[in-house]
């Protein structure tokens, strides 16, 4: 399935942030997914992003219009078209000069909202007991239940063993 850049890339960034270790350097997480332009994160911005990540996690647990609208309302979102760095025209949801935490909040909220509008069932948390990972379902049929094939295999093998021993 093809998603627009905000529904796809931004929603994937939201999932990466939620799945990141609590001690992870958030600038490293942003850099790993190619989120540009990077700025700096001071202690206040880092704390704000950690609070935001908890809010994003709630969306993966229970995606809903009220929850997503609350995220959007909390951002400094002002959509506009940008053509920076020789790139084709594309939408930005926060001013390029805004602090990094504000840009990340606007980007991820808009991405999850766009994804939800395309298909609310593509936002999820792994169904394997004990796994807390979240994911954006980009599969063709949109029926993904696990964060990775490894988690899926573990559940299916355990179910198979349970059936065989019965």
Section 80-95 average pLDDT: 86
Structural domain count of the chain: 1
Cα separation, 109 vs 63, in Å, equals: 12
Q: If you average pLDDT over every residue of the chain, what do you get?
A: 89
Q: Does a structural domain hold residue 149?
A: no
The pLDDT score that the predictor gives to residue 4 is: 52
The pLDDT score that the predictor gives to residue 111 is: 92
Section 66-77 average pLDDT: 93
Return the percent helix, strand and coil in the chain, to nearest 5: 55, 5, 35
Provide the domain limits for residue 53: 5-120
Q: Does a structural domain hold residue 95?
A: yes
Q: Does a structural domain hold residue 106?
A: yes
Exposure of 68 in the CB half-sphere (CA atoms within 13 A): 22
Q: Give the domain CATH number at 29.
A: 1.10.3300.10
Long-range contacts: 149-154, Cβ < 8 Å, 24+?
Answer: 151/126, 151/127, 152/128, 154/128
Q: Does a structural domain hold residue 147?
A: no
pLDDT band at 7 (very low <50, low <70, confident <90, very high): low
The pLDDT score that the predictor gives to residue 42 is: 94
The pLDDT score that the predictor gives to residue 6 is: 47
pLDDT at 100 over 80: yes
Residue 126: Cβ within 10 Å count? 21
- For residue 6, the cross-strand partners are none
The pLDDT score that the predictor gives to residue 91 is: 83
Q: What is the pTM of this model?
A: 0.86
Section 70-82 average pLDDT: 90
Cα separation, 4 vs 118, in Å, equals: 10
Looking at the chain, the whole-number percentage of residues with pLDDT higher than 70 is 94
pLDDT at 2 over 60: no
Cβ(142)–Cβ(1) below 8 Å? yes
pLDDT at 50 over 90: yes
Q: Does a structural domain hold residue 127?
A: no
Cβ(9)–Cβ(115) below 8 Å? no
Q: Does a structural domain hold residue 161?
A: no
Section 146-157 average pLDDT: 88
Of 15 and 39, the one with more pLDDT: 15
pLDDT at 48 over 90: yes
Cα separation, 81 vs 24, in Å, equals: 32
Comparing 4-8, 16-20, 82-86, 125-129, the range with the smallest average pLDDT is 4-8
């Amino acid at each position: 399935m093809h998603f627009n850049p905000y529904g796809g890339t931004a929603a994937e960034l939201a999932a990466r942030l939620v799945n990141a270790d609590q001690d992870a350097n958030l600038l490293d997480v942003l850099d790993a997914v190619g989120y540009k332009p990077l700025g700096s994160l001071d202690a206040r911005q880092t704390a704000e992003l950690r609070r935001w990540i908890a809010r994003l996690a709630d969306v993966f647990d229970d995606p809903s219009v009220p929850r997503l609208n609350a995220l959007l309302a909390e951002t400094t979102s002002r959509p506009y078209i940008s053509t920076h760095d020789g790139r084709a025209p594309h939408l930005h949801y926060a001013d390029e000069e805004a602090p990094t935490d504000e840009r990340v909040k606007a980007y991820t909220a808009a991405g999850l909202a766009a994804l939800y509008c395309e298909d609310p069932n593509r936002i999820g948390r792994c169904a394997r007991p004990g796994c807390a990972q979240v994911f954006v379902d980009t599969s063709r049929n949109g029926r993904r239940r696990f964060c990775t094939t490894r988690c899926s295999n573990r559940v299916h093998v355990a179910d198979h063993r349970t059936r065989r021993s019965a």
